Amino acid sequence: MTYTSLNMRSCSLTKAAAFMFQRIKRALFLAFCAALLFTGQALADDAAFSKLFGTVAFQRPMKVFGQWLDIQARNKPSDIFKGSGSQLRNNETTSSLLNKARQLSGLQRLRLINTFWNRYPYITDIKNWGKNDYWAIPAEFLRKSGDCEDYAIIKYYTLCELGMPASSMRIVVLKDTLRKLAHAVLAVEDGGNVYILDNVSNAIVSHDRLSHYVPAYSLNQNNAFVHIKGRKL
């Protein structure tokens, strides 16, 4: 399954994408300001992310990213992994999915999680919520599916449940320069490298193979970062 063969499963050039591009522009502006303020090395919660997609990351206050704070607050009382778990597709439950994942490790585990959630249909925020941009918590994704950032969010929380530390993951909002559209993926560190879990492909690919992805900002439960392209000296 290739990236080019699944165009329909990424954020399309709609009003939602245009809205997201405005947020990317704002994030890039913040990154520029951060570059002026920080004279030392860029900050990252994991060294593997220090050059994500060939960029330099600068830490920003979490309060700047209100949608992500809202996700974390709304997800706590409706955690899909509580108790015996929630019912999923194909006669699976969250408990059975986690049990299968625990029997795997490394890239095999990432591939299982990525492939499983990618089976859910891509549905735009306008169709689901009547809004240009809406970030769904996992419980909402189970009911209505979602778009690119919603896949990244549910994969993030699934890996958290499996014991993956937040510092080893980032939800990344970016621009796909090949298709000229906004997109979001989950970046995960494994063995010192960063791999991408993407709703447009079941393949687990190293970030440095995706040069057409230009990140604007990235997030986990502890930190938020904006990204700029480093200049060659």
Q: What is the percent of the chain where pLDDT is above 90?
A: 69
User: In this predicted structure, which of 1-15, 17-31, 39-53, 211-225 has the lowest mean pLDDT?
Assistant: 1-15
Q: Are 10 and 201 in contact (CB under 8 A)?
A: no
pLDDT score of 67 more than 90: yes
Reported pTM: 0.84
- Report the distance separating Cα 154 and Cα 143, nearest Å: 12
Would you state the pLDDT for residue 154? Answer: 98
Question: How many C-beta atoms surround the C-beta of residue 70 within 10 A?
Answer: 12
**Closest residue by Cα to residue 217 from 47, 74, 20, 78:** 20
- Report the distance separating Cα 48 and Cα 209, nearest Å: 15
pLDDT score of 81 more than 50: yes
Between the ranges 30-39, 88-97, 121-130, where is the mean pLDDT highest? 121-130
Does CATH place domain 4-229 in 3.10.620?
yes
Would you state the pLDDT for residue 35? Answer: 47
> What are the structural domain ranges in the chain?
4-229
The mean per-residue pLDDT over the stretch 165-169 comes to 96
The mean per-residue pLDDT over the stretch 53-66 comes to 92
Confidence class for position 229, pLDDT limits 50, 70, 90: confident
- Report the distance separating Cα 90 and Cα 93, nearest Å: 9
- Report the distance separating Cα 25 and Cα 44, nearest Å: 21
pLDDT score of 37 more than 50: no
Mean pLDDT of the chain: 85
